[in-house]
Structure 1
Amino acid sequence: METPSPKGSPFMSSPFAASPNTEILLRRTVLAWTQETGLPTSVRVRVDGRSYDLHKSPLTSKCGYFRRALLSSSDVELPENFPGGFETFEMVALFSYGYPLSLDPFNVSALRCAAEQLEMTEEYAFSNLGERSDLYINQVVLQGWDDTLIVLQKCQPLLPISEELLIVSRCVESLAFMACMEILDPEQRRDRPVISVQALSGRAWNSEKVKQITGQDLWIKDLIALPFEFFKRIIGSLRRQGMKEKYVSPVVLFYANKWVLSKKTHKFWESTDECSGAEEANNKVSAILEGLLELFPAEEKADGVIPVSFYFALLARSLSLKLSEKSREKLEHQVASRLQFARVEDFPLPESGTIAFSPELKAMENIISNYASSNSGTDFNRSTHFSSSIVAELWDRYLSQIARDPKLEPHRFVQLIEAIPVSFRETHDHLYGAISIFLLEHPDLSGEEKASVCKHIDCQKLSQEACIDAVQNELMPLRLIVQALFIQQLQTHQALRDCSDSFRYTYSVALSGTGFTPTSRSHPPTSQNLSESPYKQLTDESPYKQVCGEGRSGALSHHVEYESASFRLQALEDEITAIKKNLQGKSTSKKQSFRLFGREDKVLLKRRSHSGQVSTCIGSLSWASQRKCASGILKMLRRIALLGKGKAKMKQSSF
């Protein structure tokens, strides 16, 4: 904080700052009073196990408390919770004897509280201790950042009387005002911008790195060193006085980083007298975390202010703490509201032990369920659908990590898959990858267990690469492999049709410059059933032949190339049709039905016999022949790819 302390503010300049000298000075003052008045000491005051022999007149002249107490006895014992203890009483006694009292930020709060308890008001003496202390706080302390901070820290052991005297409130409001001026004052020229947490977005949370960033602004460093009760009140005052949330939230974040996430702070607490062990230190951290959850901004204000990695760091830390159920649910809800901005690296994993029923996985499952329930009932607009697909992809990638646990049971893995609704998954590639890893790490699964896990894969939502991999994956059930084969066939048919239509359109455009007006056949059709074949032979009346008859050699060469490509496409289509008929014929011979895209569990799974045959939903067919069919389709796909390259060359030549 750049705001300097006012001139004349006596830091550590009081003779009462060193307590051993105060007691000696009091004895000398009492002795001088005895010598001056000739009166012996007549009162004994006990405080904090110590006793002081004093004169009655100085005490009763300024203290209403002693005026009443000494009416019945000359031996007075002050309460155990006397503000400031015996050190403060020694300063009060010196003031009563008329010794010039020097106030400073280190003693003024204790003296003001002691004056209130001893009733040292203007009713008993002019410019009494209570009035003088209040003036010093208002006119000196509250005008400077450092003085106010010191007084506020000294108020903690003086609660609740320091709160009743509004010392805490005045300090809190003053600090909040000066913090706002540090940021909002247009005349304040800063060499660097205010600390922002934008640089922390998209990175793993690192407490030590964040701690280094915090030290760049001293006013933030001072605030996060305060006890939580005072810090909480300052944050509330900052918001009331109009500080923007983008400046307030980082302060809360830095406080949590120091007192909740920092391992060094936790170890420090374990070694202090306040905490006798790790359990008490955890209890203290739990109390701070529960309080901080109340200070986080609302969901709509948190976007772009607090990085999502911070929420996950708090979540991971909370798993080892004893939070209340309400606080835990609130934290999980805040994580769920920011889930679409997370990375899979942010998701917590147990450091050791099994994953299946770890608190980390349970917490993530609750968060995903929370997100799904809060988004399933809403209208699925484009933005919501996009966010849901991102969350589903993150969850599937997280499943790929936990699928490696050999102790993860199939039914538990299925529960985790079903945590995300089917409509959220735009693609099943990552889900297929997670299931493939799970099957690889669990080789002893039965056919029924494999089917229960793999039934969640929709081959229509697999990319071409994933679909090809599924056909070649020996870990997958035969039912899924056959589905992938048929999906691949449909995709190949569509690719052939699009390729042929593209050829027709390209050459019709190329020939239109010769005076030929293309017919409707020259343009790619807008819609066509997959079962229809778009590939037809050229007739003698073809406009391409008319052009050739006119003697245009360039167009003739293009026509010959087109005819060659068309025949090749037709041959590929005939080959695919033959494979399909072969599969359907064998299925008919065994009189078994197969539902191509069915998800029902009534479809029979593959079972191997001792002879190596496989009993499947398409009949008795050897595994080798199935692989041969798959290999045939894959070869055709490669040939289509080569054909596509030829098409590109033909396009270039046409222009």
Structure 2
Amino acid sequence: MRLKMMSCREVEEEYPSHDSVLGGKPNRCVIYPPDPAIVAEQLERRNNNWFVRAKVASDLVVQVGDFRFHLHKLAMVSKSGYLNRLVFAKRSESHGASSLKLLLDDLPGGIKTFESVVNFCYGFNVDVTATTIAPLHCAANFLEMSDDLHHGNLIPKAEAFLSFAIFSSWKDTFKVLKSCESVSPWAKELRIVKRCSDAIAWKASTVPKAFTPGGENSNGNSNVGDSTNTWWFQDISTLRIDHFIQVIESIKRRGTKPELIGLCIAHWMAKWFPRKTFVFDELVVPKHLAQKLQRITVESLINMLPREKNSVSCNFLLCLLKLGLTTKIDLALSDKLETRVASMLEQCSVQDLLVKNNEDGDDTTHDVGIVIRVVQAYVVLSMKNSGARLCNVGRLIDGYLAMVARELNLAVDNFKSLLDALPKNARSSDNSLYRAIDMYLKAHPSLTEEERASVCTAMEYHRLSEDARQHAMRNDRLPLKIVTEFMLLEQVMMARSMLVTRSNINLRTTTRTMLKVNNNKVLERGFATSQNEIKMIRREVENMKMQLNQLQMCKLKLEKQVKSSCFK
């Protein structure tokens, strides 16, 4: 090999670039430095000290963290403008000391990267990969190792391989971007993060079929869309939030469909947020810091959501809203999210409303409280929108009620709040409501009479069908008060029907007398406080039905007689 950094073409010939899904050798490069100012044999380590074995004694000590490098001023300052200035400034303070000491606490990349810098300055080969090139490039810029100071310096050589690594291989692009996490401020300032993000966006949007499903990059999730278009989700979901935001912004600028961006954001959130502890930079952070990071992350996710209608699912937005309330995000953001979910309710399905409850100490399977908030927000919106389709939302919530009614730990207050969340005109009848209430009472037999009565107040007798009313009057799970009320109303309705029938056959007086007698009996009992009295009322209702049928038969006979007499 020639004593210079290999060009991109030479690197590609020796180490062919392959996309990560298809496999292949990773890109690497050996940087050959220019002729050194001092000839050295080797850089060796002894405990926390590094020494350069050379014929000339060292006259410079550079401390990086807990490690000290015993070096030579001529070798280092000839290629680093920053060290040159520090040595010049220290020389006036040293008062003729044979060795100068410098402290580099804020060097990007730390000890490993500085070791590579020292090797370069002394003419040793520097082996770099996609994982190490970004910290090395940042360190070279920090130390001001440009061609202006020495031809063939580290900055241009690191830049050449960095550009090649970013654009030649999908896998290497992510390695470069992940390595930027440890040198984040410098990587952003030098636009390495942006260049990686733009490269990822370009590849994701222009070569969707280059990565075959089922390979290394396949996410194996059939629920996130066509794998031809979503092959890049898995790798992007490994990025931490600030780099993920940068990539999504780049993808948006490429004109990617909003629905695909929404799916990608949902995929990222599903990967990061089921965890019990929040991981940042591969370290478990303290609880108070984790909560702050979670809040900032959720707020960032909300702000980056595509604005287009239906670009994200209702279920994802509900999960995001739940996270937002848990992490105490900005109130304006949570209100904005509530309104967005509420505006989608008319097109939602019951499955969209099922949000898993993973909070410690909460035994319910699904979070009903979050749905109550959204339904209440929808009611406010519908009052402003004359074209609101309340009946669609009524059917949706009735279906949701039937789904969650069986949950053993669903509190009465939450169930009742959801029953009462919609106005009466949202339902054409209360049949579905009655079905959900009956399911809830069956799953919660230990409820008190008062609690059962409070749940049943949401439905009304006249909004039930005939079959539903008959079932309710025979339903032992309903409180006695409600059953009694329904039976009385049934008697009144039958009495009214009998009044109409008897008026046609001149029997109105008898019917009024019967109604008065029956009603007096009910009033004397004090609205029936025992099962025996309920049974008695049921028998009276059956007797009244028989009488009504007899009256109707009598009416038909009279009508026939009238017709026959007219013909005579």
Q: Note whether the superposition's TM-score is higher than 0.5.
A: yes
Partner of 1:343: 350
Which of 457, 481, 492 lines up with 2:487 in the alignment? Answer: 481
Q: 1:268 to 1:283 in 2, by over 3 A?
A: closer
Is the contact made by 2:278 and 2:284 (CA closer than 8 Å) also made in structure 1?
no
Offset of residue 229 of structure 1: 0.9
Deviation at 1:120, TM superposition (A): 1.2
User: Offset at 1:239?
Assistant: 0.9
Change (3 A) 1:54 1:577: farther
Corresponding residue for residue 459 of structure 1: 461
**Cα separation, 2, equivalents of 1:464 and 1:315:** 41
1:274 maps onto 2:284 in alignment:
yes
Give the AA of the match of 1:145: W
Amino acid of the structure 1 residue aligned with 2:542: K
Give the C-alpha shift of residue 389 in structure 1.
2.9
CA distance 1:255–1:613, shift in 2 (3 Å)? closer
CA gap of 1:214–1:77, structure 2 versus 1, over 3 A, is farther
Is 1:366 the counterpart of 2:373 in the alignment? yes
Equivalent residue letter for 2:399:
L
Match of 1:445 in 2: 449
Alignment-derived partner of residue 58 in structure 1: 75
Post-superposition Cα deviations, 1:302-333, rounded to whole Å, max 9, x if no partner, equal 2xxx4444445555666765555455445544
Tell me if structure 2 keeps the 8 A contact 1:260–1:289. no
Change (3 A) 1:44 1:351: closer
Alpha-carbon distance in structure 1 between the residues aligned to 2:299 and 2:143: 38
The residue type equivalent to 2:285 in the other structure is C
**Distance verdict in 2 for CA 1:579–1:112, change over 3 Å:** farther
CA distance in 1, matches of 2:543, 2:428: 29
Which letter does structure 2 place at the counterpart of 1:107?
T
Letter in 2 for 1:43: L
Question: What is the distance in 1 between the residues matched to 2:138 and 2:326?
Answer: 40
Paired letter, 2:420: E
Q: What is aligned with 2:105?
A: 80
Map 1:101-112; keep pairs closer than 5 Å.
101-112=126-137
CA drift of 1:484 comes to 4.2
Q: Show the 5 A alignment for 1:419-430.
A: 419-430=421-432
Q: Deviations over 1:121-146 (max 9, x none)?
A: 22211232112222332345333322
The whole-number CA distance in structure 2 between the counterparts of 1:577 and 1:280 is 84
Partner deviation per Cα, 1:587-628 (whole Å, 9 max, x = no partner):
446998x9xxxxxxxx999523799779xxxxxx96255332
| C-alpha distance in 2 between matches for 1:623 and 1:430 | 26
Contact residue 27 and residue 129 of structure 2 kept, 8 A: yes
Indicate conservation of the 8 Å contact 1:62/1:128, yes or no. Answer: yes
SS of alignment partner, residue 304 of structure 2: coil
Question: 1:232 is paired with a residue of what secondary structure?
Answer: helix
1:92-491 to structure 2, matched below 5 A, reads 92-183=117-208, 188=209, 218-261=231-274, 265-266=275-276, 269=279, 273-275=283-285, 284-298=293-307, 300-302=309-311, 306-314=312-320, 321=327, 323-340=329-346, 341-343=348-350, 346-348=353-355, 360-380=367-387, 384-394=389-399, 396-397=401-402, 400-401=405-406, 408=412, 415-436=417-438, 441=445, 444-445=448-449, 454-473=456-475, 475=478, 476-484=482-490
Query: What is the alpha-carbon distance in structure 2 between the residues aligned to residue 247 and residue 67 of structure 1?
Result: 51
Aligned partners of 2:435, 2:507: CA distance in 1, in Å?
28
Task: Say if 1:335 and 1:55 are closer, same or farther in 2 by CA, change over 3 A.
Answer: same
CA RMSD of aligned residues (A): 4.9
- 1:251–1:362 Cα change, 3 Å: closer
In structure 1, C-alpha distance between the alignment counterparts of 2:539 and 2:105, rounded to whole Å: 93
Q: Is the counterpart of residue 48 in structure 1 residue 65 in structure 2?
A: yes
How far apart, CA to CA, are the structure 1 residues paired with 2:165 and 2:85? 34
For each residue in 1:5-31, what CA deviation from the matched residue of structure 2 results, as whole angstroms up to 9, or x when unmatched? 954459475679xxxxxx994259986
Q: Aligned partners of 2:547 and 2:360: how far apart in 1? A: 44
Q: State the 1:235 CA deviation.
A: 0.8
Structure 2 counterpart of 1:68: 85
CA deviation profile, 1:533-582 (whole Å, cap 9, x unmatched): xxxxxxxxxxxxxxxxxxxxxxxxxxxxxxxxxxxxxxxx6799999976
Code of the residue aligned with 1:408 in structure 2: it is V
Give the 3-state SS of the residue equivalent to 1:301 in structure 2. coil
Shift, 1:274, TM fit: 2.4
1:171, distance to aligned residue in structure 2 (A)? 1.1
Moved more, 229-238 or 209-218: 209-218
1:26 aligned residue (43, 52, 58): 43
CA distance in 1, matches of 2:255, 2:166: 24
Asked if 1 retains the 8 angstrom alpha-carbon contact of 2:473 and 2:483, the reply is no
Would you say how many aligned residue pairs link Structure 1 and Structure 2? 500
Deviation of 1:225 after TM superposition, in Å, equals 0.9
The secondary structure found in structure 1 opposite 2:486 is helix
Residue 428 of structure 1 and its aligned partner are, at CA, apart by 0.4
Q: What are the equivalent positions in structure 2 for 1:496-645 lying under 5 Å apart?
A: 584-588=512-516, 607-608=527-528, 623=537, 625-629=539-543, 632=546
**What one-letter code is carried by the residue in structure 2 that aligns with 1:607?**
F
- CA separation of 1:459/1:247 partners in 2, compared to 1, >3 Å: closer, same or farther? same
Identity of aligned residues (%): 20
TM-score, scaled relative to structure 1? 0.63
340-349 or 211-220, which moves further after superposition?
211-220
| Contact 1:343-1:394 within 8 A present in 2 as well | yes
Letter in 1 for 2:303: E
Deviation at 1:357, TM superposition (A): 11
Structure 1 equivalent of residue 7 of structure 2: none
Matched residue of 2:171: which SS?
Answer: helix
AA aligned to 1:433 is R
Structure-2 separation of matches of 1:271 and 1:110: 15
Q: Distance in 1 between matches of 2:491 and 2:344?
A: 39
* Contact persistence 1:477–1:606 (CA under 8 A): no
